[in-house]
Amino acid sequence: MSAPLTRLDSRAIHLPETNIDTDVIFPARFLLKIDREGMDDCLFRDWRIGMDGASLGHAFDDPALREVQVLIAGAGFGCGSSREQAVWALVDWGIRLVIVPDFGDIFAGNALRNGLLCLPLPAAQSADLGARAEAGAVFTLDLPARRLSIGAEQIATLDLGEAEVQAFAEGWDEIDVILNRDLAEIRLFEARHRSSQPWLVDLS
C-alpha cells in the first residue's frame, strides 16, 4: 500500500506530450512480472533509456529531479491499456500528484486506489503550470485544505470528498470497507437479482 498523503512540497516534471498512453508509461514487455518489485525501473523506460542501454537524458533520468513528486502532462494522460502497473510505477518512483487536462478513465480509477492524486486542470492552465515547473516552481499540496499552491499563490481547489481525503491520508483498503459495510446490501441485491434474472445467478 502507498504511503499516506496529506501534504507535499515539490518541484514538478513537465511532459508536454498529449495522449501519453500506459504502454509508454509502462511498456508491455514488463507486464510478465508477477510481483511488484522494481516497477519504478520500468517507468517511461523507452523514453529514458536507448536501445544501447544509455540514458536518453529524459527528465525522469535527471538526478536533479529524482525527488520530484508532481507530474504535469498533456491531455489524454493514461489512455490505453488498463494496466495498473502504470500507476504502480509512477507511485514507486515517487510521483503522488498528476496534473493534466484529462485522464484515461481506467487510469484515473487505478490511481485513486493507489494513492496517486489526479488533478484535471484546463489545457491552458496545465501548460502554464508546466512552464513554471520547468522554471523550477515548487508546488505545495495541502490535502486536508484541498488546496494546491505555488508559494502564497493558490492555484487550484481540489474537488475531493471527505472519504477520499481520508483514504489518501490513511491508505486505501477498499475490499475491507466494502465487505464490512456493504455485504448485507450485496446479499439483498443478489436475492432481488435472482428473482428478476435467475439465469444470471444460478450458474451451473
How far is Cα of residue 7 from the mean position of the Cα atoms in its chain? 16
**Toward other proteins, which CB reaches closer, 131 or 186?**
186
**Toward other proteins, which CB reaches closer, 63 or 198?**
198
**Given candidates 27, 94, 115, 130, which one binds other proteins under the rule CB under 8 A?**
27
Q: Tell whether residue 170 is a contact of other proteins (CB under 8 A).
A: no
Pull the grid cell for residue 203: 450458474
Return the closest-CA partner of residue 66 out of 15, 11, 25: 11
Residues 121-150 that bind other proteins (CB under 8 A): none
Which phi and psi angles does 193 have, rounded to 5°? -60, -40
Return the closest-CA partner of residue 140 out of 13, 3, 11: 11
Contact status, residue 81 vs residue 20, Cβ threshold 8 Å: no
Q: How far apart are CA 97 and CA 172, in angstroms?
A: 16
Q: Tell whether residue 203 is a contact of other proteins (CB under 8 A).
A: yes
- Size of the residue set binding other proteins (CB under 8 A): 60
Residues at the site binding other proteins, with contacts judged by CB under 8 A: 16-19, 21, 23-24, 27-29, 31-36, 46, 51, 74-76, 79-84, 87, 102-106, 109-110, 113-114, 161-164, 174-176, 178-179, 182-183, 185-186, 189-190, 193, 196-200, 203-204
